[in-house]
Structure 1
Amino acid sequence: MVVHNPNNWHWVDKNCIDWARNYFENRLVGIESSANETKQVEVTSISSMEGDCEVSQRKGKVISLFDLKVVLMIKGHVEDETFEGSITVPEIAFDSEADDYQFEISIYKETGKLSEVRPLIREEIIPQLKEVFCKFGPELLQTHANDIQVPVDQVKSEFTKANAQSTHASASASPPPTVKKTSSNVKSEASSGSSKGPLYNTTTLHLEPTFNVPATELYQTFLDKQRVQAWSRSPMVCKSSKSVLEKGDEFTFFGGNITSKLIGCDVGKRLVFEWRLNDWRQGHWSTLAMDFHESQEYHETKLQVTWSGVPVGEEDKAKGNFLEYYVRSIKLTFGFGAVL
């Protein structure tokens, strides 16, 4: 990064969101509980990371500003029952202390026996996560501070020199964290809809609404055209005359504002749609994947939504609209759960 900033006086910042994503992939994926024949849990991947992460400087003083939400995927077993689930960390912020972090644990297809893994997660996994999050800020500064400042031999101001030395001393106080596992799949998310370059910088959203209905019923609610028209409260326009969507079918609904295409299906378990708002740039599509996790013991289905390719800046709008016009509307229309 080239810096033209005499005496490091003016405000300069650097976007570090891709570095942060790589950092957490390297240090969180692979965290696991101690060896135990009856219970075990492991962090398998990062489903989504939303928010901002920057390093900035003015008058020689370097600061980090970040506010992130991270969703981790987990798997494990309790005796002979295996499970998948997630841990959501709603806020990882530049001013967070270890006791500030909140952790929302979700066990898919949960049973009474599988619920026994929750104490293990709290006792062995969460302390390891906190350790990584507490080291993130100092490591962020240590890695990127020099990128946004001119070399010290070009600084004549004693004031900015002193500020810079104070920053580097603070960043160096914490040793670099140990890398638990390196992922070879880490990459910056951007839509590749054009050979001329990405149409948008994008991000991935993760949602987990719960419905009081069997998975097969909820699955059909997204495919049966009459049901879709009922909960969307709009006509569905589709070339296929069949009553149920099939793989490859493209359709519009919500008054023509949304175009979608069914590109993957596994009966009662998974649906994948290409999805776009019609005011997005031509050629840009997001991918809306839905996994259906039914707990027969608790008589509910958790819908794991992984929505990739959402343009940066559209996250809150996309998430809010999905919860309002998909989740809430389906529950109200068919009585598939309580509506808050």
Structure 2
Amino acid sequence: MSNMSNWKNVNNWHWTSKNCLNWAKEYLKEQSANLIAEDNGICVQINDLTECSGDAELNQRKGKLIPIIDLNLELTWSGNTSDDNEAKGTIKIPELDSGSEGDFDFEITVEEENDSKRPIKEVVRTHLIPLLKEQFKNLGNDMVETHSKDVKIESSQLGPATPPRAVTPIEPSQIHTASTPPRPATPTTSNSDTVKSSAQKIINTTNISEVVELQTSADQIYETLLDPGRVAAWTRSRPDIFRHVGSVFSLFDGNVTGTMVELVQNEKIVQTWRLKTWPEGHFSTVTIKFEQASDFTRVHINQEGVPIGEVDAVRNNWQSYYWNPIKNVFGYGSISSSSSIPLKSKNKSSKPRKNRRGSGEKKNSNSSGGGVGSSVFAVAIVLTAIVLGYVFLSRSSTT
């Protein structure tokens, strides 16, 4: 294997990292080499791994090893039929990540595709791709096993955490020019309960407030929300983000966009913020404040100007697409959370969970708890008694 880029970074909160990208290239190349599949006289095989780009890192956070994988792959393949028809092409895997667990999206291309080559392509899809998935599913575990000695620091060697650094506000003179000039900032909307879009349409809005407690320092959370490399890890996509007031950011493939309004290092982030499906031109304002405690950080989130119909989706997606991935990827854990917040709109968020009565438990309408069934039964008894009484009295009067 070729020499790999290797670096270790140990900070006051015991974060260590190792770049394993070159190792991942060699690993995937070796795992895919000469994979062969056959079906109905058609034989196909993987020829080479021609592209492997993205991120492959092994991190340790307070003794927990965390593989961060987000790779873009391209492989070449060839195949032939029993009557000497030949085909070749590529398999593109745009996102092989830590959570793939042997499953990923792919695209198969065929050079000069025609009717005679399509059966060969189908064997690639139905027989060769499953072999690739089986070979790649252990990438994360094998990376941990191979490189854990280079990253692992025994708890006895960690020592106590150093108190967090003093908060230093960012002055305008300290802001450096981004490598790519930021796009013009989008105007911030009003924070009142009703605002008007550029089309003068009235949008009823409300505010959302939340508190999340994470087991790390304020400076680490600040970096996690602004550093492009870290943002890519927890969003599992390539972000467009700059650490400069006035710059425009884009997350989750453009589903979330906004502008940096205020940055106070390790203390506060203020952004305009919108979902792609919100009314055109409408932005909310998100204020994130960091409160450093002895061994954790309390994160206060306040979002002003959320369209009323989007409140539930925004709350749920803050939790699902921001805080849960951050905790899982970086091992920050969670002490408590006052509720939850954003990514997909209400129309595109996951389906609401149904109420559950317990594992495998079925609803019983005749339970002794006095539900609707028991009430109907009691009424029936009373009516029967009345009818019988009437019949009895009628017979007595005739005699």
Q: Same fold (TM over 0.5)?
A: no
RCO comparison, higher one (Cα < 8 Å, 6+):
1
